[in-house]
Each structure stands twice: as C-alpha cells, then as structure tokens.
Amino acid sequence: MANLFPKSANNVPAQIALILGILAVTTVAGVTYYFTPKYTRVGYMPTQPVPYSHYLHAEQLGIDCRYCHTHVNQSGHANVPAAEICMNCHTHVQRESPLLELVRDSYLNNEPIEWVRIHKVPDYVYFNHAVHVNRGISCVECHGQVNEMEVVWHDQPFSMAWCLECHRNPEQFIRPLDQVYNLNWTPDNAEAHAQWAREQVVAWNVNPPQSCSGCHQ
C-alpha cells in the first residue's frame, strides 16, 4: 500500500515543536520586558549614583520642593537640581561624607551627575508642568507621597486613561495654590472643599483638554 504522506511529513512534528518553542520564548521575553516596572514604570525604583532621601530632606527637614526643583511653577519641565544646589547646604553639612563624593566632584569639575530618570511621559505626549501646579494640582497627585520616600519610585502609571480621569473631573484633584507643595495637606472639611473646588474650576477657567490634539500635538 502506497504511503499517504510524503517523507517530508515526518519533519512536521519537529517543525511544530520548533514553532511552539519560538512562540513560547517570544511570549516570555515580551511579558518579561513589557510588564516589568521599568516599562510600565509603576514601582520603578532605580538605584541612583548618589543616595538621596526625600524623607530626610522634604519631610524631616521641611525643604520645599521648589528649593531643589527650581522653576517648576514657571517651566514646562521639572528640573533635576544641579550640584550647586546640593552644595549650598553641603559645604557646611556632611561636607566630608564619602556618600557625597560624586556631588563634590560634579560641583568642582562642572560635570553633571548622571541621575537615572524615573518619571517620564511618552515622547509623543505634550505635558506642561507649570500649567498643572499653577492650577492647584499638587506634586502628590502625580509623584505620590515623595516626602515619605527614602528612595523615589514611579508612583502613578501616567497612562492616557489615568490622565483623562483628572481631565474629566479636575474638581476632584485641585487644592488651594498655597498648598500645592505641602505634600501632607488634606482638607479640614471634605464637603466644603468639594464645593470650593467646583467653584475654582470655573473661577480659574480650568478646562483640561480631552481631545487627542490637546496632548498629542
């Protein structure tokens, strides 16, 4: 009786196994990369070249965010402080600490420290930092309770859905302008604050864009 299948059919099981193996490896690699905190960014907490405790500086010492991150209320982008800012204090405090060697070298040699960037929106998204803080959006809303962090991590997803939640209901997120940088602030009366917020949305002409062109310029 003649064979129903050609001899090449004998290789089919091996070929199927190879294809399934490639698919499995590709799937594992994709999930490993695209679902890690570094990609989704939530929880991303890289090691920095110089250890820095926001809990010590912002919470215990009470240093205002704007002292280090200058012009966040004027610029479209929040800046990373230069070594000169650090040395304003550390020429007097912990000035011989080995942990600050890179800061001292950066200051003396005018070479920037290569900090690892944590907070980042996609390149195709337009975001103006000053617009938000000047309309009552606190640092906490995007960066989390940074004043309680020994090591800063990426606290919020910065996804389109997450942004739109605020754009659609800004009254749920704004606070008095003099409390934007007070990371521990909470309203004394939630109901009164909610009424105030609804009024301020109108008074401040808060009208966040919800169309594609508003953020994808």
How is residue 49 written in tokens? 């070249």
Other C-beta atoms closer than 10 Å to the C-beta of 174 total 23
Is residue 33 one of the residues assigned to a domain? Answer: no
pLDDT digits (tens, 9 = 90+) for 98-139: 999 999 999 999 999 999 999 988 888 999 999 999 999 999
Is residue 29 one of the residues assigned to a domain? Answer: no
Is residue 6 one of the residues assigned to a domain? Answer: no
Whole-number Å distance between alpha carbons of 67 and 60? 15
Dihedrals phi, psi of 27, to nearest 5 degrees: -65, -45
Is residue 168 one of the residues assigned to a domain? Answer: yes
Which residues pair with residue 174 across a beta bridge? 137
Is residue 9 one of the residues assigned to a domain? Answer: no
pLDDT digits (tens, 9 = 90+) for 70-92: 999 999 988 999 999 999 999 99
pLDDT at residue 2 is higher than 60: no
If pLDDT is split at 50, 70 and 90, which confidence band does 176 have? very high
Whole-number Å distance between alpha carbons of 185 and 196? 16
The helix, strand and coil proportions of the chain, stated in percent and rounded to the nearest 5, come to 50, 0, 50
Other C-beta atoms closer than 10 Å to the C-beta of 185 total 14
Is residue 109 one of the residues assigned to a domain? Answer: no
pLDDT digits (tens, 9 = 90+) for 38-65: 667 899 999 999 999 999 999 999 999 9
Q: Is the pTM above the cut of 0.95? A: no
Report the domain count for the chain.
1
Is residue 122 one of the residues assigned to a domain? Answer: yes
Of residues 45 and 11, the one with the higher pLDDT is: 45
Segments forming the whole domain that contains residue 62: 54-80+115-211
If pLDDT is split at 50, 70 and 90, which confidence band does 33 have? low
Whole-number Å distance between alpha carbons of 117 and 174? 26
Rg (CA), the chain: 25
